[in-house]
Amino acid sequence: MKFFQRLGRSLMLPVAVLPVAAILSGIGYWILAATGNETNVVGGFFKIAGGALLDQLPLLFAIGVAIGMAKKPDGTSALAGLVSWLVVTNLLSPASVAIFKGIVEEDVNLAFSNVENVFVGILCGLIGAYSYDHFKDSELPDALAFFSGRRSVAIVAAGASLVLSLVLFFLWPLVFTGLVGFGEFILTLGPLGVGIYGFLNRMLIPLGLHHALNSVFWFDVAGINDLGNFLNATGTYGVTGQYMTGFFPVMMMGLPGAALAMYVTAKSSRRKVAAGVLFSSAIASFFVGVTEPLEFSFMFLAPGLYVVHALFTGISMAVSAMLPVRMGFGFSGGFIDLVLGWVNPMAQNPWAIPLMGIFWFAVYFVVFRAIILKFDLKTPGRDEGDLLTDENAVLSGERKHLAEATAFLAALGGKDNITDLENCTTRLRMEVADTTLVDDGALKRAGAAGVVRPGGQSVQVIYGTSVQFVKDAMESIMTGRVDPVDDAQLAAEAGTEADGGADTAVRTSHLVRLRQPMAGAVIPLSEVPDPTFAQEIMGPGVAIEPTDGEVVAPAAGTVGHVFPTGHAVALVLEDGVELLIHVGVDTVQMKGEGFTTLVEAGQKVSAGTPLLRADLSAIRVAGHPAVTPILVMNDKDARIELV
């Protein structure tokens, strides 16, 4: 399983070229359509440029897989992949096979006319990666020393490619026939087959294996080549694009509808933080067609809901295949690809796709909302234990990624616990020495959209389209090129010490910096004469030995709860921190005597807003300590600093 997961990640490197091809081809088609002149030089220029990439896509796979599958690769693995591709494709060309078999070229099996495909490109890339990993440090006798080390990699790759060519000489016709048979079987099912493909596509995403399924239908592995034929306008009008069309309504409108449903069903005190996760992911889904950040926000919190999503995708694919609507993409089913493909000769009634999207937006919103409420699913913002925060919101750019990398490494058990680190489009893929050291909750608090444990020592952290920057920052810390970011540095960069106070709470990792809510001496929570507080059973924090009974808001937020007896108040700060200020020990027994509440639940407050007043003398006369604990209720690793 690990091998296929790494392969899926490697495939994304050449696939990342497709948006460029789509843009170039799209511009070319727009110009040709607008001018009505098929010989327009500018339009032809862009169309040919896009086709140049698409026509060489198998070669790009050979090079990309050679880089992606190699451990700590450099250009040598790419060269080895290229060498393997050249050897295999030339040895298995129809002209070469005709010579080997002693027949005329016209009688050569059709399979060899299709040997320059993505499947063979992947095999050549694997040879390149294997040759690099196992022979880059090889030492040869002095007479052959020039060919030692990395210079031997391409030579070994060429030798291995001879063996692969011999194997494929006998097996490729059988493999090709099987792949074509599978594709033809799906084709015989008509729209139902398209729907089955759409359903399986979504269900394989948690394993990262959907790319392998896509290659059968999108590329020329089985002769379907739906994606390539659409972008090159070489397919069949009304047919080409059927394995892509149904993704557009779901990615552009359906999933954003699901995001809205999860937002409106989130608890009011947690909607703001949930919105940051949901809406940013919805935007990525709509414009670019990158769905994993949004899908992973509920995939494991509510797996049944994800199955519903997969079913909806299959239905959308099947319905789209039945209708006279066809559209394709160069990267994914987002708005950008829809616009670029609008005037493609293979596009059929593209105006219907936004209308279908509106329908799916309504379906996703209504169904998701109903299921979430009926079964009380713990989608983002509904689970008090999900610890959603907008950590590092005060940071941006490189420092933000470095801070997240620091937090990720800590949550993963430290850099020494990570034995292998890679990434694909939206996720970190790792092998760890000890999986028990991985803290899923801490990873989510640090910015992860989800955590996947495929089995064995594998761990995947779902992050988003900027995952490459986080991975690079993690590697920089692990190799010692840069130092990890500590809480003090983050707080300084956030500017929280500018005026000696804090107007809003600032989350930096587990540090919570607050304005002191009561006058008095700050003491450790362990000194509170009550084991419930001292042992942090209710949560971590600090305490104040008060000299004045007025309690003010330590940061901007919302009053979550005011206790009837007036001795305590709960706040939900703007960054998601849930705070409890408890005046005195056992003061609930005073039944409100000596306490005056100044706010009510749901009220918005700013730093310094009076929350309640306590008569300290009355507390002491009643025989209760006046020491006031200040606790973080939703982060067991939090550390409060009062300023």
Task: Give every CB contact of residue 554 below 8 A, 6+ residues apart in sequence.
Answer: 502, 505, 514, 515, 516, 517, 571, 579, 581, 607, 630, 642
Cβ burial of 170 (10 Å; 0-12, 13-18, 19+) is: exposed
Phi, psi (5° rounding) for residue 301?
A: -70, -35
CB proximity list for 643: less than 8 A, separation 6 or greater: 496, 497, 500, 501, 502, 513, 514, 515, 516
Cα–chain-centroid distance for residue 181?
34
Look at residues 560, 558, 567, 563 and name the one whose alpha carbon lies nearest to residue 613: 567
582 catalytic per annotation: yes
Active-site choice (309, 424, 567, 624): 424
Containing 130, the helix (H) or strand (E) segment is: helix 118-135
Q: Which of 211, 510, 582, 624 is catalytic?
A: 582
Name residue 96's amino acid.
S
Phi, psi angles (nearest 5°) of residue 133:
-60, -35
User: CA dist 2 to 134, 214, 434, 459, Å?
Assistant: 19, 19, 16, 10
Counting runs of H as helices and runs of E as strands, what totals does the chain give? 24, 17
Question: Any bridge partners for residue 512, and if so which?
Answer: 507, 640
Nearest to 342 by CA among 331, 332, 353: 353
Residue with tokens 């170039």: 24
Distances (CA, A) of 402 to 290, 482, 513: 23, 9, 20
SS3 at position 4: helix
C-alpha–C-alpha distance, residues 465 and 149, integer Å: 36
Mapping DSSP onto H, E and C, the string for 298-365 reads CCCCCHHHHHHHHHHHHHHHHHHHHCCCECCCCCCCCHHHHHHHCCCCCCECCCHHHHHHHHHHHHHH
SS3 20: helix
Question: What span, in angstroms and rounded, lies between the C-alpha atoms of 69 and 66?
Answer: 6
Instruction: Report which residue type is found at 509.
Output: S
Question: Taking the CA atoms of the chain, what radius of gyration do you get in angstroms?
Answer: 30
* CB neighbours of residue 599 within 10 Å: 18
Alpha carbons 264 and 232: distance in angstroms, whole number: 43
Amino acid at 521: A
CB 143 within 8 A of CB 66: no
Q: Which residue has the tokens 């507390």?
A: 619
Is 309 tagged catalytic?
no
Note whether 298 and 255 are within 8 A (CB).
Answer: no
CB 347, CB 326: distance < 8 Å: yes
Count other Cβ atoms within 10 Å, centred on residue 339. Answer: 12
For the annotated catalytic residues, the residue numbers are 424, 582
